[in-house]
Amino acid sequence: MPKKTAEISSKTIGIVVVCILFVTVAGLWFWLKKDSKVNTQNIPEKVHIPTTAETVIDYNKIEKDKELKALMQKRKAEYGIEKGVDIIAKSDESFKIGDSTVSMQEILDMIRIKSGDIVERNLKLKKTDPMKNSESFGIHVVQPGDNIWNIHFHFLKDYFAHKDISLSPLADEPSRGRQSSGVGKLLKFSEGTVNIYNIKEHKIDVDLNLIYPLSKVVIYNMDQIFALLDLIDYEHVNRIQFDGETLWIPPN
């Protein structure tokens, strides 16, 4: 009889031990899970930099797309030009010529690197400032027979036409004494103020003489170039001085 009681007691003790182990394991699992949840809250979430749908100006569709054509006409009218450039794009936009799409920001970064500036990207999450105006750039798509001098002269002629000044086709020719005209000096200075971008090779082109149709574009910083042109009184244009680097514009 005592032997049977001992057997029951052993079974009871075994069940109790198993229950204790189960409760202990369950409690430990619950505690670890809770602690893990707390710790993960301290881990910073992944930062997602929002991407905005970039406007792409398709050169191939300007004449066919009424809205795009109207937009280009509006932008050109703001600067008082019509034929001097084919596209006016903002610094946060892209343009497409043929099958190639190029971001203006990509070009601007290359221009700044070329000029010795350091391009630094701020990757922190930040809100876009709606009050901040982007820069405007005039883009001339190089055509057969173009050369850099004629491109600048055409641009200048268009600018003066909107001021009711007719620029003679010979206005850029030297005088009889072989002295450069004021327009000629202005055009020579302009060669250093623009950039030529090679669409096919995606790089800034340093050779101004090798221009291939529809593979390169001439880029004007519209705000900078018009800040200069607006200082010029055409009646005194021949008094302009240029030494190869600096342009002096006489006061009116």
DSSP β-ladder status, 241-242 and 56-58: unpaired
pLDDT of residue 219: 93
Give per-residue pLDDT as tens, 37-71: 434 344 344 444 344 557 899 999 999 999 999 99
User: What backbone phi and psi angles, to 5 degrees, belong to 158?
Assistant: -65, -40
pLDDT of residue 121: 52
State how far Cα 48 lies from the chain centre.
21
Q: What are the sequence ranges of the domains in the chain? A: 1-43, 56-123+133-248
When pLDDT is averaged across residues 219-242 and rounded to a whole number, the result is: 79
Distance CA 94, CA 108 (A): 11
Task: Tell me if 128 sits within 8 A of 122, measured CB to CB.
Answer: no
pLDDT of residue 48: 41
Least confident of 12-26, 86-100, 101-115, 177-191: 12-26
- Sorting pLDDT into bands at 50, 70 and 90, what band is 107? very high
In this predicted model, which residue has the larger pLDDT, 38 or 208? 208
The model's pTM = 0.68
pLDDT more than 90, % of the chain: 23
Give per-residue pLDDT as tens, 131-178: 456 889 999 999 888 888 888 888 888 888 888 888 777 777 776 666
Beta-bridge partners for 94: 56, 103
pLDDT more than 70, % of the chain: 62
Q: Is 217 helix (H, G, I), strand (E, B) or coil?
A: strand
Q: Is 110 helix (H, G, I), strand (E, B) or coil?
A: helix
